[in-house]
Chain A
Amino acid sequence: MALSTNRTAINHLLKPLTAATRHLSSSSTATITIETSLPFTPHKIDPPSRAVETNPKELMKFFNDMALMRRMEIAADSLYKAKLIRGFCHLYDGQEAVAIGMEAAITKKDCIITAYRDHCIFLARGGGLHESFAELMGRKDGCSKGKGGSMHFYKKESGFYGGHGIVGAQVPLGIGLSFAQKYSKEEHVTFAMYGDGAANQGQLFEALNMAALWDLPAILVCENNHYGMGTAEWRAAKSSAYYKRGDYVPGLKVDGMDALAVKQACKFGKEHVLKNGPIILEMDTYRYHGHSMSDPGSTYRTRDEISGIRQERDPIERIRKLILAHDIATEKELKDIEKEKRKVVDEAIAKAKESPMPDPSELFTNVYVKGFGVAVFGADRKEVRATLP
């Protein structure tokens, strides 16, 4: 199988590079060309090259950022079990390569919109740990002042438009963002992310039709983690070749566990849509957790499947092996980075725990931008009343 030969190949590479002196500095920007583990599968388009240009600095950044994301999601799991996070909590561990690879290919003026599995996209867009944990715990230092929760993280100034709870709704919204970018004659694009579950939504096809008619710079990114909540893709979709579902819209199937493949595909996608209208990128990825914290994730898939993916395709492990193979850092240095991320996350949680809950007056803020001094009521309208600013 392609995957095991890849590992053997890298193991061979490790041999000549165990010299005591560093071959490449970890902050070097010298180009390294790496071939993606799997080819891109195209639909109605010529695929990009499998040879991806990167450099040690970028690979180290991938490792650092993904390690942080992994740590954050695992910490959120514990916080949820400790009842400090309430309601819904959808974790992204396993899918980090999609967020990281995408970010490496674009700028903060390009827009990203996703559904509710949004914590790591928020981090990738420049969101902070403190504001993430504070939001998850419903505190006033949260990125949405505690009023949004896990599913409603936003960072408009870096082009991150949330954070949406209704499956599929984010796709027309994302195409709307690309409409505005084209209308304003910006040379920027929008990545509208959705899952294999949302891929069957009618509104997606309605909006994709308009994006194609009007040549909008929209890249639809299907994060296919193979399960829509508890329903496997083969039970939900007559055709689970999501990259082909756009019919007249071209598509590409990408190994979503390979951050470099994701980067290449997103770069390719951005260039394509600026000239030719929409494209679909299907990222073949996997989530280790269940759909949400209420789902053990093991009733509809086997533990062997989950651990198998962890062994063979884990995105962080892949980058670790590349870094070691190219002698950019040592194993110990990488382990130290992971320890440091653990520490940084623990500190952020401790700080977030100290953030107070929002002031009761915040119940009535941000209902409108312009409230005209209108009266607004609490549960007992004779007891709790305010005026909207």
Chain B
Amino acid sequence: MSGIIGRKMATKGILNMNQLLLGSRVFASRTFSSSAKEMTVRDALNSALDEEMSADPKVFVMGEEVGEYQGAYKITKGLLDKYGPDRVLDTPITEAGFTGIGVGAAYHGLKPVIEFMTFNFSMQAIDHIINSAAKSNYMSAGQISVPIVFRGPNGAAAGVGAQHSQCYAAWFAACPGLKVLAPYSSEDARGLLKAAIRDPDPVVFLENELLYGESFPVSAEALDSSFSLPIGKAKIEREGKDVTITAFSKMVGYALQAAEILAKEGISAEVINLRSIRPLDRPTINASVRKTNRLVTLEEGFPQHGVGAEICASVVEESFEYLDAPVERISGADVPMPYAANLERMAVPQVEDIVRAAKRACYRAEKSVPMAAAA
């Protein structure tokens, strides 16, 4: 096993060295695991794909620019050279067509990994994700299972405008028959993608473009090719006792930053990295709220009918008597994503928004003067 890791480190040598050298800034803000190995989310995803393709010949990758271009975001880098064009397929720009082809291949027992260049383009193929993939096992009473993964960047990037910035977690997570995962760290990325590829059901795997280049420490266990994380289990990223903050994907990093600021003001925040949007880890969320009695839900996507709305409902249903304050929701603004940098900043949650909401939940807020914007 270490031989494989050694070979990988050698081939990726220069890239990793640069990251390690640049890492001094990164190191200062991260807690160490016992191993000093760091890995970007991009490399984590790439290595997970590589290992799963190596372990199971039925796994193949299909999408735009995944092969010769090495991946629009380089997630599939090197896979074409290693596995050949029969297993790494460049498609035309026809999402409805290639998603349907992928689902049909899964019906027949293969294990496709379909890449959407961003999940905004998944809307072109959403009928196949929902009606052809998610519902088939049920409609056929177990005859037709669909072991497929739909993956790609989700949510806002930087300055890409309204049609390229939507978060699809809430839409997909509403649908029975799908599993929806959202990694944050490199360990999440490796463990959850491996679990997704091995899972016999359709999995929507929501990555984040701005996280691809971020480095995180990875344990030796996480580097092992048999590593995987359980689907449906959230992770307590930071323990606390005064307020629970739930988050997924990039927002986990923001929540952790907010928790640092809150700690200096005497508020101990517990940060939950959801990891799995469907199934949602209701037991972990509720246990945390029963401990802290206060909840702030955090997401990048639109607020109405969002992930936070479901978490709030779940907590009100199961842990009402434990709540000492109304549930707070921090989300993207209820508008299409604007381009201008100042408006864009207002359209997504910032760390100060999370801090403010946590203080409100703790009845420690400053008197607020809401910004009035006449539409």
Residues on A facing B (Cβ under 8 Å) = 111, 113, 144-145, 147-148, 152, 154-156, 161-166, 169, 171-181, 183-184, 202-203, 205-207, 209-210, 213-214, 365-370, 372, 374-376, 381-382
Contact = CB atoms under 8 A, between A and B. Distances in A.
Contacts of B108: 111, 161, 176-177, 180-181, 184
28 contacts: A147-B141, A148-B140, A154-B140, A161-B144, A169-B132, A172-B96, A172-B101, A173-B101, A173-B107, A175-B100, A176-B100, A176-B104, A177-B104, A177-B107, A179-B105, A180-B107, A180-B110, A206-B96, A207-B98, A209-B94, A365-B141, A367-B177, A368-B179, A369-B145, A369-B147, A372-B230, A374-B232, A375-B282
A369 B133 CA distance: 12
Contact of A367 (B91, B107, B137, B143): B137
A169 B100 contact: yes
Nearest to B230: A372
A166 B105 contact: no
A362 to B, nearest CB: 8
Nearest to B99: A172
A144 B201 CA distance: 18
Nearest to A152: B139
Given A148-B141, A161-B144, A202 B110 contact: no
Given A172-B96, A172-B128, A368-B177, 12 more contacts: A156-B143, A161-B144, A166-B127, A169-B100, A169-B127, A169-B132, A172-B101, A173-B104, A177-B105, A180-B105, A206-B97, A372-B231
Contacts, number: 156
A12 B111 CA distance: 59
A101 B232 CA distance: 48
A368 B137 contact: yes
B97 A207 contact: yes
Chain B contact residues (Cβ within 8 angstroms of A): what range? 35 or more
A171 B177 CA distance: 22
B199 interface: yes
B90 to A, nearest CB: 10
Interface of B: 60, 86, 89, 91-92, 94, 96-110, 127-128, 131-132, 136-145, 147, 176-177, 179, 199-201, 230-232, 279, 282, 317
A162 B89 CA distance: 26
B16 to A, nearest CB: 34
A164 B145 CA distance: 15
Contacts of B104: 113, 161, 172-180
A169 B131 contact: yes
Q: Which 8 A-B pairs give the minimum distances between C-beta atoms?
A: A176-B104, A172-B100, A206-B97, A180-B108, A206-B94, A145-B141, A173-B104, A369-B200
Nearest to A373: B232
Given A176-B108, A206-B94, A152 B140 contact: yes
Given A156-B144, A180-B108, A206 B92 contact: yes
A372 B102 contact: no
Contact of A207 (B101, B137, B141): B101
A382 B142 CA distance: 27
A147 B101 contact: no
A316 to B, nearest CB: 31
A367 to B, nearest CB: 5
A205 B200 CA distance: 29
Contacts of A161: 104, 107-108, 144
A369 B201 contact: yes
A162 B100 contact: no
Scoring B91, B100, B144, B317 by chain A CB atoms within 10 A of each residue's CB, the highest score goes to B100
A366 to B, nearest CB: 5
Given A166-B127, A169-B128, A183-B60, A176 B103 contact: yes
Contact of B141 (A169, A175, A366, A374): A366
Contact of A166 (B94, B106, B109, B131): B131
A207 B96 CA distance: 8
Contacts of B92: 206, 209-210, 213
